Structure 1
Amino acid sequence: MGRSRTYDWQDPSISASAVGQGSGLDFLREILAGRLPAPPIAATLGMDLDEVDHGHAVFSLTPGEEHYNPIGSVHGGIYATMLDSAAGCAVQSTLPQGMGYTSLDLAVKFLRPVKADMGKVRAVGSVLSSGRRTALAEARLLDEADRLLAHATSTCMLFPIPAA
Protein backbone atom coordinates (compact mmCIF):
# COMPACT_ATOMS: atom_id res chain seq x y z
CA MET A 1 0.00 0.00 0.00
CA GLY A 2 1.31 3.46 -0.90
CA ARG A 3 2.07 6.23 1.52
CA SER A 4 0.97 9.83 1.15
CA ARG A 5 1.79 13.20 2.59
CA THR A 6 0.00 16.51 2.31
CA TYR A 7 1.21 19.99 3.11
CA ASP A 8 0.23 23.61 2.61
CA TRP A 9 2.11 26.70 1.54
CA GLN A 10 1.37 30.35 1.02
CA ASP A 11 1.56 32.48 -2.12
CA PRO A 12 5.29 32.91 -2.88
CA SER A 13 4.69 36.27 -4.60
CA ILE A 14 4.02 37.83 -1.18
CA SER A 15 7.60 37.28 -0.02
CA ALA A 16 9.08 37.82 -3.48
CA SER A 17 7.55 41.29 -3.65
CA ALA A 18 9.21 42.20 -0.33
CA VAL A 19 12.76 41.33 -1.49
CA GLY A 20 14.92 44.45 -1.53
CA GLN A 21 12.36 46.62 0.27
CA GLY A 22 14.51 46.47 3.42
CA SER A 23 17.84 44.90 4.24
CA GLY A 24 18.34 41.21 3.54
CA LEU A 25 18.57 40.57 7.27
CA ASP A 26 15.27 42.35 7.90
CA PHE A 27 13.63 40.31 5.13
CA LEU A 28 14.84 37.00 6.59
CA ARG A 29 13.79 38.02 10.10
CA GLU A 30 10.28 38.71 8.76
CA ILE A 31 10.16 35.14 7.40
CA LEU A 32 11.56 33.75 10.66
CA ALA A 33 8.88 35.64 12.64
CA GLY A 34 6.12 34.41 10.31
CA ARG A 35 5.21 37.89 9.08
CA LEU A 36 6.26 36.89 5.56
CA PRO A 37 5.58 33.40 4.21
CA ALA A 38 8.39 30.90 3.92
CA PRO A 39 9.13 29.71 0.39
CA PRO A 40 7.09 26.73 -0.86
CA ILE A 41 10.23 24.55 -1.01
CA ALA A 42 10.39 24.73 2.80
CA ALA A 43 6.91 23.19 3.06
CA THR A 44 7.68 20.64 0.34
CA LEU A 45 10.74 19.36 2.20
CA GLY A 46 9.62 20.08 5.78
CA MET A 47 12.58 22.44 6.24
CA ASP A 48 12.58 25.34 8.70
CA LEU A 49 14.60 28.55 9.00
CA ASP A 50 15.74 28.40 12.64
CA GLU A 51 18.25 31.24 12.99
CA VAL A 52 19.44 34.25 11.07
CA ASP A 53 21.96 36.94 11.88
CA HIS A 54 24.37 39.05 9.85
CA GLY A 55 26.35 36.58 7.69
CA HIS A 56 24.74 33.52 9.34
CA ALA A 57 21.70 31.33 8.62
CA VAL A 58 20.56 27.97 9.98
CA PHE A 59 17.97 25.63 8.47
CA SER A 60 16.78 22.35 9.97
CA LEU A 61 14.91 19.28 8.79
CA THR A 62 13.89 16.01 10.39
CA PRO A 63 14.58 13.42 7.69
CA GLY A 64 11.83 11.02 6.79
CA GLU A 65 11.41 8.25 4.27
CA GLU A 66 9.75 10.75 1.92
CA HIS A 67 13.28 12.16 1.46
CA TYR A 68 14.80 8.78 0.50
CA ASN A 69 16.53 7.79 -2.72
CA PRO A 70 16.22 4.25 -4.13
CA ILE A 71 19.16 2.93 -2.04
CA GLY A 72 17.54 3.66 1.33
CA SER A 73 19.04 6.95 2.53
CA VAL A 74 18.21 10.63 2.18
CA HIS A 75 18.69 11.85 -1.40
CA GLY A 76 21.69 14.10 -1.98
CA GLY A 77 19.40 16.71 -3.48
CA ILE A 78 17.87 17.22 -0.03
CA TYR A 79 21.36 17.85 1.40
CA ALA A 80 22.15 20.20 -1.49
CA THR A 81 18.90 22.16 -1.07
CA MET A 82 19.52 22.65 2.64
CA LEU A 83 23.15 23.66 2.09
CA ASP A 84 22.23 26.02 -0.78
CA SER A 85 19.52 27.62 1.37
CA ALA A 86 21.84 28.12 4.35
CA ALA A 87 24.73 29.52 2.28
CA GLY A 88 22.47 31.73 0.16
CA CYS A 89 20.53 33.14 3.09
CA ALA A 90 23.79 33.82 4.94
CA VAL A 91 24.75 35.99 1.96
CA GLN A 92 21.28 37.56 1.79
CA SER A 93 21.55 38.53 5.47
CA THR A 94 24.48 40.83 4.62
CA LEU A 95 22.74 42.73 1.81
CA PRO A 96 21.57 46.32 2.13
CA GLN A 97 18.16 47.51 1.00
CA GLY A 98 17.79 47.38 -2.78
CA MET A 99 20.22 44.50 -3.31
CA GLY A 100 19.53 40.89 -4.25
CA TYR A 101 21.55 37.76 -4.96
CA THR A 102 21.45 34.52 -6.86
CA SER A 103 23.60 31.42 -6.54
CA LEU A 104 26.19 31.03 -9.29
CA ASP A 105 27.47 27.65 -8.14
CA LEU A 106 27.25 25.12 -5.36
CA ALA A 107 29.99 22.58 -4.65
CA VAL A 108 28.81 19.84 -2.28
CA LYS A 109 30.84 17.14 -0.53
CA PHE A 110 28.76 14.27 0.90
CA LEU A 111 30.53 12.75 3.91
CA ARG A 112 27.99 10.55 5.75
CA PRO A 113 24.59 9.07 4.92
CA VAL A 114 21.46 10.57 6.46
CA LYS A 115 18.67 8.22 7.57
CA ALA A 116 15.14 8.81 8.83
CA ASP A 117 15.96 7.54 12.32
CA MET A 118 18.83 9.92 13.06
CA GLY A 119 16.82 12.94 14.24
CA LYS A 120 17.01 16.55 13.15
CA VAL A 121 19.82 17.75 10.86
CA ARG A 122 20.93 21.36 10.58
CA ALA A 123 22.49 23.29 7.71
CA VAL A 124 24.61 26.12 9.11
CA GLY A 125 25.62 28.77 6.59
CA SER A 126 28.16 31.56 6.93
CA VAL A 127 29.68 34.16 4.65
CA LEU A 128 33.39 33.77 4.01
CA SER A 129 33.97 36.79 1.77
CA SER A 130 31.82 39.46 0.19
CA GLY A 131 32.59 42.06 -2.45
CA ARG A 132 30.62 44.44 -4.65
CA ARG A 133 29.53 41.81 -7.20
CA THR A 134 30.03 38.41 -5.61
CA ALA A 135 30.05 36.71 -2.24
CA LEU A 136 31.46 33.36 -1.12
CA ALA A 137 29.66 31.36 1.54
CA GLU A 138 29.95 27.92 3.08
CA ALA A 139 27.44 25.66 4.75
CA ARG A 140 27.83 22.59 6.95
CA LEU A 141 25.20 19.88 7.38
CA LEU A 142 25.34 18.58 10.97
CA ASP A 143 23.53 15.89 12.93
CA GLU A 144 22.30 16.32 16.52
CA ALA A 145 25.78 15.39 17.83
CA ASP A 146 27.35 18.07 15.56
CA ARG A 147 28.98 15.44 13.32
CA LEU A 148 29.68 16.77 9.84
CA LEU A 149 27.43 15.05 7.28
CA ALA A 150 28.12 17.25 4.25
CA HIS A 151 29.85 20.50 3.35
CA ALA A 152 29.26 23.02 0.58
CA THR A 153 30.64 26.24 -0.78
CA SER A 154 28.62 28.64 -2.88
CA THR A 155 29.44 31.68 -4.95
CA CYS A 156 26.61 34.19 -5.18
CA MET A 157 26.19 37.06 -7.61
CA LEU A 158 25.02 40.32 -6.03
CA PHE A 159 22.86 42.77 -7.99
CA PRO A 160 20.61 45.80 -7.50
CA ILE A 161 16.87 45.15 -7.45
CA PRO A 162 14.90 47.67 -9.54
CA ALA A 163 12.46 49.78 -7.50
CA ALA A 164 8.85 48.65 -7.87
Structure 2
Amino acid sequence: MKDRRIAKSPEDLPKLDEVLSMSGLELMQAMARGEMAGPPIAETLGYTIKSIDDGRAVFAGTPEFKTLNPLGTVHGGWYGTLLDSCMACAVQTKVPQGSTYTTLEYKINIIRPIKLGTPIEAIGTAHHVGRSTGIATGEIRGTEDGKLYATGSTTCIIMKIG
Protein backbone atom coordinates (compact mmCIF):
# COMPACT_ATOMS: atom_id res chain seq x y z
CA MET A 1 0.00 0.00 0.00
CA LYS A 2 1.31 3.44 -0.94
CA ASP A 3 1.22 6.38 1.43
CA ARG A 4 -1.94 8.39 0.97
CA ARG A 5 -1.27 11.67 -0.74
CA ILE A 6 -3.05 14.98 -0.99
CA ALA A 7 -3.23 17.20 -4.07
CA LYS A 8 -0.93 20.21 -3.70
CA SER A 9 -1.98 21.90 -6.96
CA PRO A 10 -4.81 21.60 -9.52
CA GLU A 11 -2.53 19.45 -11.68
CA ASP A 12 -2.38 16.85 -8.89
CA LEU A 13 -6.16 16.31 -8.83
CA PRO A 14 -7.55 13.37 -10.82
CA LYS A 15 -8.50 14.32 -14.37
CA LEU A 16 -12.15 13.99 -15.42
CA ASP A 17 -11.39 11.31 -18.03
CA GLU A 18 -9.55 9.30 -15.33
CA VAL A 19 -12.47 9.67 -12.93
CA LEU A 20 -15.01 8.63 -15.57
CA SER A 21 -12.94 5.61 -16.67
CA MET A 22 -13.62 3.79 -13.39
CA SER A 23 -16.50 3.14 -11.05
CA GLY A 24 -16.90 5.34 -7.99
CA LEU A 25 -15.74 2.48 -5.77
CA GLU A 26 -12.60 2.01 -7.88
CA LEU A 27 -11.89 5.76 -7.69
CA MET A 28 -12.30 5.94 -3.92
CA GLN A 29 -10.20 2.81 -3.38
CA ALA A 30 -7.44 4.25 -5.59
CA MET A 31 -7.40 7.37 -3.38
CA ALA A 32 -7.37 5.23 -0.23
CA ARG A 33 -4.38 3.27 -1.59
CA GLY A 34 -2.53 6.49 -2.51
CA GLU A 35 -2.60 5.81 -6.24
CA MET A 36 -4.57 9.02 -6.81
CA ALA A 37 -4.25 12.23 -4.83
CA GLY A 38 -7.00 13.11 -2.40
CA PRO A 39 -8.57 16.58 -2.10
CA PRO A 40 -6.69 19.39 -0.33
CA ILE A 41 -9.65 20.05 2.00
CA ALA A 42 -8.68 16.87 3.87
CA GLU A 43 -5.29 18.31 4.76
CA THR A 44 -6.77 21.72 5.57
CA LEU A 45 -9.23 20.25 8.07
CA GLY A 46 -7.03 17.41 9.33
CA TYR A 47 -8.79 14.24 8.23
CA THR A 48 -7.94 11.25 6.07
CA ILE A 49 -9.58 8.20 4.53
CA LYS A 50 -9.58 5.32 7.00
CA SER A 51 -11.48 2.79 4.90
CA ILE A 52 -13.59 2.53 1.75
CA ASP A 53 -16.05 -0.25 1.02
CA ASP A 54 -19.08 -0.63 -1.24
CA GLY A 55 -21.60 1.88 0.16
CA ARG A 56 -19.41 2.94 3.09
CA ALA A 57 -16.71 5.56 3.65
CA VAL A 58 -14.89 6.08 6.95
CA PHE A 59 -12.67 9.09 7.58
CA ALA A 60 -10.50 9.67 10.65
CA GLY A 61 -9.42 12.98 12.11
CA THR A 62 -8.68 14.98 15.21
CA PRO A 63 -9.82 18.60 15.57
CA GLU A 64 -6.91 21.01 15.93
CA PHE A 65 -6.66 24.59 17.13
CA LYS A 66 -7.24 25.88 13.58
CA THR A 67 -10.75 24.32 13.63
CA LEU A 68 -12.00 26.46 16.53
CA ASN A 69 -14.64 29.17 16.32
CA PRO A 70 -14.36 32.50 18.23
CA LEU A 71 -15.85 30.85 21.34
CA GLY A 72 -13.05 28.29 21.49
CA THR A 73 -15.11 25.27 20.46
CA VAL A 74 -14.84 23.19 17.29
CA HIS A 75 -16.61 25.07 14.51
CA GLY A 76 -19.83 23.53 13.20
CA GLY A 77 -18.36 23.72 9.71
CA TRP A 78 -15.76 21.14 10.70
CA TYR A 79 -18.51 18.71 11.68
CA GLY A 80 -20.43 19.57 8.50
CA THR A 81 -17.48 19.15 6.17
CA LEU A 82 -16.50 15.80 7.64
CA LEU A 83 -20.08 14.53 7.44
CA ASP A 84 -20.56 15.89 3.90
CA SER A 85 -17.32 14.19 2.87
CA CYS A 86 -17.99 10.75 4.35
CA MET A 87 -21.66 10.65 3.28
CA ALA A 88 -20.99 11.85 -0.29
CA CYS A 89 -18.03 9.49 -0.65
CA ALA A 90 -20.27 6.60 0.48
CA VAL A 91 -22.60 7.58 -2.38
CA GLN A 92 -19.59 7.84 -4.74
CA THR A 93 -18.72 4.19 -4.03
CA LYS A 94 -22.04 3.20 -5.66
CA VAL A 95 -21.77 5.48 -8.73
CA PRO A 96 -21.18 3.57 -11.99
CA GLN A 97 -18.37 4.15 -14.45
CA GLY A 98 -19.07 7.18 -16.65
CA SER A 99 -20.98 9.03 -13.94
CA THR A 100 -20.21 11.39 -11.11
CA TYR A 101 -22.10 13.07 -8.28
CA THR A 102 -22.39 16.27 -6.32
CA THR A 103 -24.07 17.09 -3.03
CA LEU A 104 -27.55 18.55 -3.49
CA GLU A 105 -28.19 19.13 0.21
CA TYR A 106 -27.07 17.89 3.58
CA LYS A 107 -28.18 18.32 7.16
CA ILE A 108 -26.26 17.80 10.36
CA ASN A 109 -27.21 17.51 14.02
CA ILE A 110 -24.44 18.33 16.48
CA ILE A 111 -25.11 16.35 19.64
CA ARG A 112 -22.16 17.39 21.80
CA PRO A 113 -18.92 19.35 21.47
CA ILE A 114 -15.74 17.56 20.47
CA LYS A 115 -12.79 18.53 22.65
CA LEU A 116 -9.53 19.44 20.95
CA GLY A 117 -7.34 16.40 20.52
CA THR A 118 -10.24 13.92 20.53
CA PRO A 119 -9.71 11.41 17.70
CA ILE A 120 -12.90 10.73 15.75
CA GLU A 121 -14.28 8.68 12.90
CA ALA A 122 -16.79 10.06 10.42
CA ILE A 123 -18.76 7.12 9.01
CA GLY A 124 -20.88 7.51 5.87
CA THR A 125 -23.35 4.86 4.72
CA ALA A 126 -25.17 4.95 1.38
CA HIS A 127 -28.78 3.76 1.59
CA HIS A 128 -29.90 4.34 -2.00
CA VAL A 129 -28.02 5.23 -5.16
CA GLY A 130 -30.08 5.27 -8.35
CA ARG A 131 -29.76 6.81 -11.80
CA SER A 132 -30.31 10.39 -10.62
CA THR A 133 -30.05 10.56 -6.81
CA GLY A 134 -28.14 9.08 -3.91
CA ILE A 135 -29.13 9.11 -0.23
CA ALA A 136 -26.72 8.55 2.68
CA THR A 137 -26.43 9.07 6.41
CA GLY A 138 -23.41 9.70 8.56
CA GLU A 139 -22.20 9.96 12.10
CA ILE A 140 -19.16 11.26 13.92
CA ARG A 141 -18.01 9.05 16.79
CA GLY A 142 -15.07 9.23 19.15
CA THR A 143 -12.61 6.45 18.42
CA GLU A 144 -11.50 6.20 22.05
CA ASP A 145 -14.66 7.15 23.97
CA GLY A 146 -17.24 5.73 21.53
CA LYS A 147 -19.45 8.80 21.99
CA LEU A 148 -21.76 9.97 19.24
CA TYR A 149 -20.90 13.62 18.49
CA ALA A 150 -23.00 14.35 15.40
CA THR A 151 -25.25 12.79 12.78
CA GLY A 152 -26.11 13.81 9.26
CA SER A 153 -28.03 12.97 6.12
CA THR A 154 -27.48 13.90 2.49
CA THR A 155 -29.03 13.80 -0.95
CA CYS A 156 -26.64 13.75 -3.90
CA ILE A 157 -27.31 14.24 -7.61
CA ILE A 158 -25.94 11.48 -9.85
CA MET A 159 -24.86 12.71 -13.29
CA LYS A 160 -24.09 10.54 -16.33
CA ILE A 161 -21.15 12.22 -18.07
CA GLY A 162 -19.68 9.60 -20.40
Q: Same fold (TM over 0.5)?
A: yes
Question: What TM-score do you get using the length of structure 1 for normalisation?
Answer: 0.89
Number of the residue aligned with 1:120:
119
Number of the residue aligned with 1:5:
none
Number of the residue aligned with 2:134:
135
Structure 1, residues 39-79: CA drift from partner, whole Å, max 9, x if none? 01011111101100000001111111111011111100000
Letter in 1 for 2:85: S
Number of the residue aligned with 1:10:
8
4+ residue runs over 2 A deviation = 8-14
Give the Cα separation in 1 of the matches to 2:152 and 2:45: 19
Give the Cα separation in 1 of the matches to 2:158 and 2:24: 12
Letter in 2 for 1:42: A
**1:29–1:80: structure 2 CA closer, same or farther, 3 Å change rule?**
same
Number of the residue aligned with 2:102:
102
Structure 1, residues 78-113: CA drift from partner, whole Å, max 9, x if none? 000000000000000011110111100001101000
Number of the residue aligned with 1:22:
22
Matched, 1:32 2:32: yes
Q: CA deviation at 1:10?
A: 2.4
- SS of the equivalent of 1:79 reads helix
- Greater CA deviation, 126-135 or 47-56? 126-135
Give the Cα separation in 2 of the matches to 1:131 and 1:27: 18
Number of the residue aligned with 2:76:
76
Q: Contact 2:95 / 2:129 at 8 angstroms: preserved in 1?
A: no
Number of the residue aligned with 1:147:
147
- Quote the RMSD (CA, aligned, Å): 1.4
Structure 1 segment 83-98 matched on structure 2, within 5 A: 83-98=83-98
- SS of the equivalent of 2:29 reads helix
- SS of the equivalent of 2:20 reads coil
Unaligned ranges ≥5, structure 1: 1-7
Unaligned ranges ≥5, structure 2: 1-5
**1:16–1:110: structure 2 CA closer, same or farther, 3 Å change rule?**
farther
Give the Cα separation in 1 of the matches to 2:157 and 2:7: 28
Q: CA deviation at 1:11?
A: 2.9
Number of the residue aligned with 2:3:
none
> When the two structures are aligned, how many residues end up with a matched partner?
154
